[in-house]
A and B are shown apart, each in its own frame.
Chain A
Amino acid sequence: MDMQGRSIVSIRDFTHEEIDAIVHKALEVKQGKWPRAMQAKVLATLFFEPSTRTRLSFEAAMVSMGGQVIGFADPNVSSAKKGESLADTIRTVTGYVDVIAMRHPLEGAARLASQVASVPVINAGDGANQHPTQTFLDLVTIHEEFGRLTDLTVGMLGDLKHGRTVHSLAQALSHYRSRLVLIAPPSLRMPEHLKRELQASGCAIEEVQELAEIRGELDVLYVTRIQKERFADFQEYERVAGAYRLNREALGGACARARIMHPLPRVDEISGELDGTPNAIYFRQAHNGIPTRQALLGLVTGAIR
Chain B
Amino acid sequence: MSDASRTRKVYAIERGTVIDHIPSPMALKVVQILGVQKEGILTVGMNFPSKRLGVKDIVKVENLLLSPQATDRIALVAPTATINIIDGGEVVEKRPIHLPAEFKGLLRCPNPRCITNAEAVTTWFLREGGGAEMAVRCLYCERVYPDPAELLV
Please tell me which one of the listed residues B120, B135, B142, B144 contacts residue A108 in the complex, with CB atoms under 8 A apart.
B142
Nearest Cβ distance between residue B48 and chain A, in whole angstroms? Answer: 37
CA distance A66 to B20 in the complex (A): 66
| A239 CB within 8 Å of chain B | no
Residues in A with CB closer than 8 Å to B115 are 86, 104, 106-109, 111-112, 126
Residue of A nearest to B143 (CB): A107
Interface hits, A53-99 → B, CB 8 Å = 85-87
Nearest Cβ distance between residue A244 and chain B, in whole angstroms? Answer: 26
What mask results when residues 124 to 149 of chain B are scored 1 for a CB within 8 Å of chain A, else 0?
00000000000100111111101000
Nearest Cβ distance between residue B124 and chain A, in whole angstroms? Answer: 9
Contact A111 B119 (CB under 8 A): no
CA distance A127 to B115 in the complex (A): 10
Residue of A nearest to B139 (CB): A111
Please tell me which one of the listed residues B116, B119, B120, B142 contacts residue A129 in the complex, with CB atoms under 8 A apart.
B142
Given contacts A112-B115, A128-B113, A193-B135, contact A107 B121 (CB under 8 A): no
Residues in B with CB closer than 8 Å to A108 are 114-116, 138-142
Given contacts A112-B140, A193-B135, contact A106 B113 (CB under 8 A): yes
Residues in A with CB closer than 8 Å to B144 are 193
| B153 CB within 8 Å of chain A | no
| B118 CB within 8 Å of chain A | yes
Residues in B with CB closer than 8 Å to A112 are 115, 119, 121, 140
Nearest Cβ distance between residue A157 and chain B, in whole angstroms? Answer: 23
Residues in A with CB closer than 8 Å to B7 are none
Residues in B with CB closer than 8 Å to A111 are 115, 139-140
Interface hits, B41-100 → A, CB 8 Å = none
| A12 CB within 8 Å of chain B | yes
Please tell me which one of the listed residues B111, B119, B135 contacts residue A107 in the complex, with CB atoms under 8 A apart.
B111
Interface of B is mostly: loop
Contact B139 A107 (CB under 8 A): no
Interface hits, A177-233 → B, CB 8 Å = 193
Residues in B with CB closer than 8 Å to A12 are 142
How many chain A residues sit at the interface, stated as a range, is 10 to 19
Interface hits, A88-141 → B, CB 8 Å = 104-109, 111-112, 126-130
| A10 CB within 8 Å of chain B | yes
Residues in A with CB closer than 8 Å to B118 are 86, 106
Residues in B with CB closer than 8 Å to A129 are 141-142
Nearest Cβ distance between residue A86 and chain B, in whole angstroms? Answer: 6
Contact A107 B120 (CB under 8 A): no
Residue of B nearest to A105 (CB): B113
Please tell me which one of the listed residues A10, A104, A106 contacts residue B142 in the complex, with CB atoms under 8 A apart.
A10
Interface hits, A11-35 → B, CB 8 Å = 12
Contact A130 B119 (CB under 8 A): no
CA distance A133 to B116 in the complex (A): 23
Residue of B nearest to A104 (CB): B115
Contact A86 B114 (CB under 8 A): no
Nearest Cβ distance between residue B108 and chain A, in whole angstroms? Answer: 13
Residues in B with CB closer than 8 Å to A128 are 113
Residues in B with CB closer than 8 Å to A107 are 111, 113-115, 140-143
CA distance A193 to B133 in the complex (A): 11
Among B113, B115, B139, max chain A CB count under 10 A is at B115
Contact B139 A106 (CB under 8 A): no
Contact B113 A127 (CB under 8 A): yes
Residues in A with CB closer than 8 Å to B113 are 105-107, 127-128
| Shortest beta-carbon contacts, A-B, top 8 | A108-B140, A107-B141, A108-B115, A108-B141, A106-B115, A109-B115, A193-B144, A111-B140
- Interface residues, chain A, CB within 8 Å of chain B? 10, 12, 85-87, 104-109, 111-112, 126-130, 193
- Interface residues, chain B, CB within 8 Å of chain A? 111, 113-116, 118-121, 135, 138-144, 146
10 A/B residue pairs, CB under 8 Å, sorted by A = A10-B142, A85-B120, A106-B115, A107-B111, A107-B143, A108-B142, A112-B140, A127-B113, A129-B141, A193-B144
